[in-house]
Amino acid sequence: MRPRWLMASIALVVTGMLASGCAKAPTPVIEGKVQPGIWDYQNVKQTREKALLAELDRKQWQALTAACLTPAFFGREQSTPLLFSDRTEKRALEIPHETLSIESLGGDAAAATAAIATRYWQKAELLFAVDNYEQALWAVPAASFLEAPILVAPTRATLSQLDARCAIVIGTAKPPVAEVVNLPTKEDVWRFQLDLYQTKAHTCDYIVMTNPHDTDDNLNPNVQWPYLSLASAPLAAYRKALVQTGDYTGDRERLHALGGAPGAAEDRAKYEFVKPTFTKVKDESYAVEKFLADHGGNPEYIAFVGGSIELPFYICDIQVLWTYWDCEQHYVPAETPYATMRTDVDFTRFVKPDLAPGRIMGDGILDVTWMLMRTFWYREFLPGGEYASLAPAEWERKAVLIDGHRLNQPEAGGPPASPDEPFHPAQEIVDTISGAGYETDYLVPRDVGRPADKNQPIEKLLGAIGDRLAVQFVAHGDPPFMRIEIGGGGAGQSYHATGPKIRQLMEFDAPAAVYVIGCNTAALYASLGSNEEYIPPSMVDAGAVTYIAPHTCQSVCFWRYAPQGPASIQTVYFWENALARNMPVGKALNEAKWRAYQEWKDKQYEPNRGRDTDNAVEPDGPTVLLFGDPALQIGKAG
């Protein structure tokens, strides 16, 4: 008697031969397990030397087509930059590139994906077939790993032109080819993908989570940043990630209402209303993390691709009364709970995450894919790299700290500010970055109340920091601005670095990592009207590849006679981790948060000893967010 696995193999091959009349092909899957023979199929892509900017209109079939374009540019070993534009942004791309209009490929996804396959593949014996945009996002990493096209409703003529012999089907298509592998569910796609990686001894460590409904033709009016989910295609392809999807769109008005400035009254009803939204994200992030861990993967990174309404933050039920400052903090938006592989904690205290989280978002899909391009090809901006001529000389050796928490302090009882005497944590940060081998400038803005002050005005400082790798601000903040003290001779004046001012003044000519110590400088839950008012997308628009800042207020102050706290010291630890130890930025931040938290969580306020925590330490860990790819390495050894 033949073994059961052999009968399954014969049945699959014979069915295919009868359908297509082709010669016997290798069997890619036996009893649900991907076989090494899958690599016997021949897929030959056209050689591409230039990056591509794919332009699309805001129609979901075009988003579907754009996602299917990804495997033409991202492969298992080598990739070529691919950027998307939905024509809502204007950015001049300095890198050599070609431009392609998705609309020019055909009037629907079936015609357009066929055009892509026949344009970019000389032969594709193995291909993927999908029905919709969400399925395409699931398929992208496996298709890119196999160097295979993704098609919608492929015709016999297209299959014949590609010499197709095997179709991996996610959906309802029935392509007439020798072999068909059906993957009816998302979990089937994940299992296939992980089995496929195993055939090449690759271990998956990355998860991408996104909301494909941000491209719906009948768009939910709560959606604030449409079409960002499309960035999950190149991200998942490059990082070889599992893609988790769902409709996570929350109630914009109620989420913004919980953004909560310090001292805002607790509103339990609003919190309970939005809780099911972020609980769903928690449940589904945990589900994919556990799936990856249970199927031979090693979950280390998770990226949330999309806006803060389309993919809401977890709101930690932290209720804090700061005894030293006589103010309160309620509800802390965070992503660390999603990166914590536990379901038995309530997150009223900070919990060390198991994965490194990062948020991929910006004004639009062009800004975001430009950030990803500069992330994936980060090393090409270094001397000798393909894009080195586009970056300032020696940018990779330079850093800067702009101290915006100094010039008004004498009016608050502190000592006179001087650029020759950095206060905590400015001195510690400068010493740490310098000690890692970077030329680090310490800058204080000109005091507008002292005409003889020779420091540069704040506008000039902001406009001249784009040639550095590492940029640190020590400042204040309130949505929608970073508040920088500029003196005033007793008037206590401050400069408000709003989103529009950041876009106008700041331009990072090379990939830069930016960290802001300043309350609310990552705030996205605040009704500001225009998306351009928010600081995180403004920093991405200015060219930062990593932006780190707190969403809410931090229990820390930085001048000499005030208390210190975990929010300041974790900044020092981050730069030590990222630059001296060359840890990926997501892991560097996780470790820095936890180390600072452990040092401060049990300390109590002691007069004149520089300590003020009781339970006010709790917001400092979860509130600090990372915008960018958590797996990016910026240190010299990377």
Q: What is the pLDDT of residues 509-551, one digit of tens each?
A: 999 999 999 999 999 999 898 999 999 999 999 999 999 999 9
Q: Give the pLDDT band of residue 100 (cuts 50, 70, 90).
A: very high
Q: What is the pLDDT of residue 565?
A: 79
Q: Which residue has the higher pLDDT, 548 or 268?
A: 548
Q: Is residue 125 over pLDDT 90?
A: yes
What average pLDDT does range 152-161 have in this prediction?
98
What is the number of alpha carbons within 13 Å of residue 596 lying toward its C-beta? 30
Q: Is residue 327 over pLDDT 80?
A: no
| pLDDT digits 0-9 by tens, 496-512 | 999 999 999 999 999 99
Q: Is residue 323 over pLDDT 70?
A: no
Q: Is residue 368 over pLDDT 90?
A: yes
| pLDDT digits 0-9 by tens, 441-497 | 999 999 998 888 889 999 999 999 999 999 999 999 988 899 999 988 777 899 999
Instruction: Compute the mean pLDDT over every residue in the chain, rounded to the nearest whole number.
Output: 90
Q: Give the pLDDT band of residue 268 (cuts 50, 70, 90).
A: confident
Q: What is the pLDDT of residue 22?
A: 46
Q: Is residue 569 over pLDDT 80?
A: yes
Question: How is the beta sheet containing 97-101 ordered, strand by strand?
Answer: 82-85, 51-55, 97-101
Q: Where in the chain is the domain with CATH 3.40.50.1460?
A: 380-627
Q: What is the pLDDT of residue 383?
A: 94
Q: Give the pLDDT band of residue 560 (cuts 50, 70, 90).
A: low
Dihedral through CA 315, CA 318, CA 321, CA 324, nearest 10? -80
CATH architecture for the domain at 380-627: 3-Layer(aba) Sandwich (3.40)
Distance CA 231, CA 238 (A): 11
> In this structure, what token pair is assigned to residue 499?
């989103």
Phi, psi (deg, nearest 5) at residue 440: -120, 120
| pLDDT digits 0-9 by tens, 382-393 | 999 999 999 999
> Could you report how far apart the first and last alpha carbons of the chain are, in Å?
56
Q: Which residue has the higher pLDDT, 92 or 576?
A: 576
What average pLDDT does range 155-180 have in this prediction?
96
What average pLDDT does range 362-374 have in this prediction?
97
Do 449 and 588 form a contact (C-beta atoms < 8 A)?
A: no
What are the distances in angstroms from CA 588 to CA 375, 574, 594, 634?
A: 16, 5, 10, 11
Strands 544-550 and 327-334 turn out to be: unpaired
84: CB partners within 8 A, 6+ apart: 53, 54, 55, 56, 66, 230, 231, 365, 366, 369
Distance CA 483, CA 499 (A): 12
